[in-house]
């Protein structure tokens, strides 16, 4: 089974061998969301938490806590990533890989999975509340539906 370290390594390699940790964390959030929306199942089993600066997978953060740039990822094996998931990760990289971690963080702050997990917390307060797979599936599935609806109205 894949772990969060496998898609993290995929993105590190796509970035040319080093990637900002904040950017990587947000790419993993989008990958998990789109994987669930596309009915591929969870990409990785680790939980995503709604931290102040956006979604974070704590296990990856712990491994990389002192690194602004992620240059190596222990325990990663991209061979564990299924072909459908690898194709999805390529699309995620094409869509989101051009954005900085700060830009992706701002984007996540407008989306229901992060907002709902932080509901009731004062701005800037630390939290380890989970962004659930169900909230990711629901939100990203709605994005698929709205994209399809917009496409069907184009003549």
Q: Is the pLDDT of residue 56 over 60?
A: yes
CB atoms within 10 A of CB 56: 22
Q: Give 109's contacts (C-beta < 8 A, 6+ positions apart).
A: 54, 115
Q: What is the pTM of this model?
A: 0.93
Indicate the domain borders of the chain. 5-152
DSSP 8-state secondary structure symbol assigned to residue 36: H
Q: Confidence band (pLDDT; 50, 70, 90) for 154?
A: very low
pLDDT at 114 over 60: yes
Structure confidence at residue 149 (pLDDT): 52
Choice among 2-6, 26-30, 34-38, 151-155 with the minimum mean pLDDT: 151-155
Distance, in Å, from the CA atom of 131 to the CA atom of 63, rounded to the nearest integer, reads 20
In the predicted model, is pLDDT for residue 155 greater than 90?
no
pLDDT > 90: what percent of the chain? 92
Between 15-24, 72-81, 146-155, the lowest mean confidence (pLDDT) is in 146-155
- When the pLDDT of each residue in the chain is averaged and rounded to a whole number, the result is 94
pLDDT at res. 147:
59
What pLDDT shows up at residue 152? 43
Contact 129, 50 (CB under 8 A): yes
Tokens of 1: 């089974």
pLDDT in tens, 128-144: 999 999 999 999 999 98
As a whole number, mean pLDDT of residues 81-106 equals 97
Of residues 15 and 1, more confidently modeled: 15
């Amino acid at each position: 089974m894949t772990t969060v370290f496998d898609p993290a390594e995929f993105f590190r390699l796509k970035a040319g061998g080093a990637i900002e940790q904040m950017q990587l964390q947000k790419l993993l959030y989008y990958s998990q969301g789109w994987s669930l929306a596309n009915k591929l199942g969870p990409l990785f089993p680790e939980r995503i938490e709604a931290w102040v600066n956006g979604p974070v997978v704590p296990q990856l953060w712990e491994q990389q806590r002192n690194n602004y740039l992620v240059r190596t990822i222990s325990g990663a094996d991209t061979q564990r990533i299924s072909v459908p998931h690898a194709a999805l990760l390529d699309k995620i990289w094409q869509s989101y890989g051009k954005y900085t971690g700060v830009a992706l963080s701002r984007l996540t702050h407008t989306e229901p999975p992060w907002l709902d997990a932080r509901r009731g917390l004062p701005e800037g307060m630390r939290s380890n509340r989970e962004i659930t797979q169900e909230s990711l599936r629901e939100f990203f599935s709605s994005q698929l539906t709205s994209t399809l609806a917009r496409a069907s109205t184009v003549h």
